[in-house]
Structure 1
Amino acid sequence: MSIRKRTWTNGKGEEKTAWVVDYTDAKGVRRLKTFAKKKEADSFAATAKVEVREGVHVADSASARVKEAGAFWIASAEAAGLERSTVNQYRQHLDLHIVPLIGDTLLSKLSVPTIRAFEDDLRLKGRSPAMVRKLLISLGSLLADAQERGLVSRNAVREKSRSRHKGKDRRHERRQKGRLKVGIDIPTREEVKAIVAALEGRWRPLFLTAIFAGLRASELRGLRWQDVDLDKREVRVQQRADRFNDIGKPKSEAGERTVPIPPMVVNAMKEWKLAYSRPIVGKDDDNKPIREDARQSHLVFANGSGNVESLANIINRGLIPVQIAAGVSVATDKNDEDGNPIIAAKYTGMHALRHFYASWCINRPQDGGLGLPLKVVQERMGHSSVTMTADVYGHLFPRGDDADEMAAAERSFLA
């Protein structure tokens, strides 16, 4: 490997100088790379020498562009059998965010400063801290796939994640997001009581299970009768339905769990099982529908055809109308034909009920909760780690230094 100075005269008669690094890559191919400054040439030569020795060097001419590597990355995700929702999210990250900004950039040109500039561009374009983090994770995965294909020698995203900025970025994201608040993100006990009182028909067992078992919407939609043991009063989470209504495994290993259910849910389940609408499989001689025999493999909360119920139906036909009927609502800035404010449901997603379940598990028995320890709450929620549970719900746990307990401790100390 050598570095030499090159001098020439351009068409205007001006003398120009450049520095050329002359080397042979790991495949025995001679390479030339030109730099404006000797310092840059020396830096590249030092790095390339190590990479060639370790067999990981990739020349610019042998590298691919980000959008080309992205196509390989999507193909790898599909070949690995990832869920359609996951592959679809990867494709959205690539097509809507990554390619428009750095799609034509060579992989070999990506460095930590380049990734920082990409991150800054995302923020300037209004992406939230959470979205920026997700996009960087996707870009890092893309580069890891490209490394395995020999298209790039380094993963600048992974290098950046080991830098001092990682903790600072996470703290900033948490500050932007803020803690979950009762009455804003988490329904209050009074609101849940009103919702429970307003439940009827097919929505009663579904929402009672969501409120008092904490299942994710995907887990409710994938729940089978064979996973419900009414005698033992428990529900086993063994599968879930993704947003494409495909049945698959829970989100993580911890997602497979057994959750106890209270008598109210058991009774609602029994009533629902007796009235369970089995799928129509044909018509008899009198043109009346013939329904399939009830089987344990049937979905508990299936639609009228016996298939997976869509999340949109659960929210638009169940969650929102039930809240409005229960008075758990807010006035919007829009008016109806008579000039009255249009009323909307206060909580727009199923996860609000899951948040309530977590708070119910955490609250002390004297406050109407179960008073469970952190580890048990994690298991009930199906979180992959205690850290996740603590990060999301840690502030809800009762403190040992509240006013009443402090007063009792003071009286004991002074006695």
Structure 2
Amino acid sequence: MASIQTRTGPKGTSFRVTWREDGAQKVATYRSEEAAQNWKQLIESVGSGAEADRILAKRQSAAPTVDEVAEHRLELLRATRGTKATYRQYMRTHISPAFGSWPINTVDPDDCRRFVIALENKGRAPKMIHNICGWLTSMMLHAEERGWRTGNPMKADMLPAVERSDDTEANMFLTRAEADAIISRVHQPYRDFCLVMLSTGMRPSEIRALTVGDVLLDQPQPVLRVTKAMKNSRERGSYEYVGPPKSKASRRSVGIPPSTAQLLRGHVAGRKSSEPLFPGARTERMSHSAPGRAFNKGAAAARKAGKLDKDPDLYALRHTHASLMLAAGMETWKLANHLGHDETMTRKVYGHLMPEAQFEAATFAAKALDGGAALEAA
């Protein structure tokens, strides 16, 4: 319980509210009895000075709520329907229940830290937590630009580290023999889909969006034009549509080797340029899950035959392509353009596979441990 004491001094009458919190006596002084009564009621209701401060700030704030800022941000955001739907899902599932009704200027760093801890306690993966908090950060910056709050309370050091386990690392990268063992056991038409993925490093969503007209075989260097990708709406029952690639860097032409060009001639011969390169069994295009299911069956068959010890998924073909290109001597900036993302991301994901870095490390080790023995690059 809290109590109010009226005090009269040289500066006039004041009203002191006294209460106990965490075993200690707390005091707050007000010039008006009404303000003191409001504080007393809040303290008796919530039992915490910090929480009472927050409620008082909410009552007095004229700033828009977190939910209102999110809608304002989405209204002005240049993004695909799928991306916007993802952000709305973050709001519905995570952010709005935590503090959607709060004025945006009342969210402080402690609130954000508690939010991250709550996501971890729910078992959300570190990458997912980064994605959710990345959207929250963009909302805070949006609000700051418009004068609705000061500063961004979400700090990078609050987020969990995103690290790959040894098993994940091993499953990401296949040897050429392991990849061949899997793909040879994948049934058609998904075998050719997997071969194209291995030989180009393209994302599955990009391959599924290819049309016959995107395959340019009759030129000195045959290429696949990546101008679109399959997107997931995530709104009112998930459905797919053809949209732009993942990023500006993803819009590119991908050179293909002669073996892939020869394989694709059978897929484009006598067909209209607007037809999907890889149609679905019962739909216009392959479904999102069909190539992955076929790949998984091929991997299971390869393991049963003793040709594979790993448990990769379809995306391992893209990672394997990147590792093979680096091993063949492709520069990282060229690989980044080829894969459709920036060089920083390429170095982050594949940097440990770079031959020049491995050779340099071995050279220093030779100097330090082998009496200065020289190594020669292969």
What is the TM-score of this pair, normalised by structure 2?
Answer: 0.72
2:247 to 227, 247, 252: 252
CA distance in 1, matches of 2:74, 2:274: 30
DSSP 3-state at the match of 1:258: strand
Aligned to 2:152: 156
**Unaligned stretches of 5+ residues in structure 2:** 1-10, 18-26, 33-37, 41-48, 233-238
1:271 Cα offset (Å): 2.1
1:173 to 139, 161, 176: 161
Aligned to 2:6: none
One-letter code aligned to 2:320: F
CA distance in 2, matches of 1:412, 1:320: 41
Contact 2:193 2:291 (8 Å CA) reproduced? no
1:1-16 equivalences under 5 Å are: 7-8=14-15
1:9-408 equivalences under 5 Å are: 18-19=29-30, 60-70=60-70, 72-73=71-72, 76-77=73-74, 80=77, 82-146=79-143, 152-157=148-153, 160-161=154-155, 166=156, 168=157, 173-174=161-162, 176-178=163-165, 183-231=170-218, 232-243=221-232, 244-274=239-269, 294-304=271-281, 307-316=284-293, 318-327=294-303, 346-348=311-313, 350-363=314-327, 370-383=328-341, 385-398=342-355, 399-401=358-360, 406=366
1:302 Cα offset (Å): 1.9
Contact 1:233 1:266 (8 Å CA) reproduced? yes
DSSP 3-state at the match of 1:82: coil
- Number of corresponding residues: 324
Contact 2:65 2:104 (8 Å CA) reproduced? yes
Q: Structure 2 vs 1, CA of residues 323 and 20 (structure 1 numbering), >3 Å: closer, same or farther?
A: farther
Contact 2:16 2:29 (8 Å CA) reproduced? no
**Deviation digits for residues 40-72 of structure 1, max 9, x if unmatched?**
9xxx9xxxxxxxxxxxxx9934233334444x2
1:193 Cα offset (Å): 1.7
CA distance in 1, matches of 2:124, 2:13: 45
CA distance in 2, matches of 1:5, 1:89: 57
Contact 1:204 1:268 (8 Å CA) reproduced? no
**Deviation digits for residues 7-56 of structure 1, max 9, x if unmatched?**
2388xxxxx853479xxxxxxxxxxxx999xxx9xxx9xxxxxxxxxxxx
One-letter code aligned to 2:267: W
DSSP 3-state at the match of 1:115: helix
1:265 Cα offset (Å): 1.3
**Unaligned stretches of 5+ residues in structure 1:** 11-15, 22-33, 45-57, 277-293, 331-342, 364-369
Contact 1:6 1:18 (8 Å CA) reproduced? no
User: C-alpha root-mean-square deviation of aligned residues, in Å?
Assistant: 3.9
Structure with more relative contact order (C-alpha pairs < 8 Å, separation 6 or more): 2
Contact 2:223 2:254 (8 Å CA) reproduced? yes
DSSP 3-state at the match of 2:295: helix
DSSP 3-state at the match of 1:156: coil
CA distance in 1, matches of 2:363, 2:187: 40
DSSP 3-state at the match of 1:327: helix
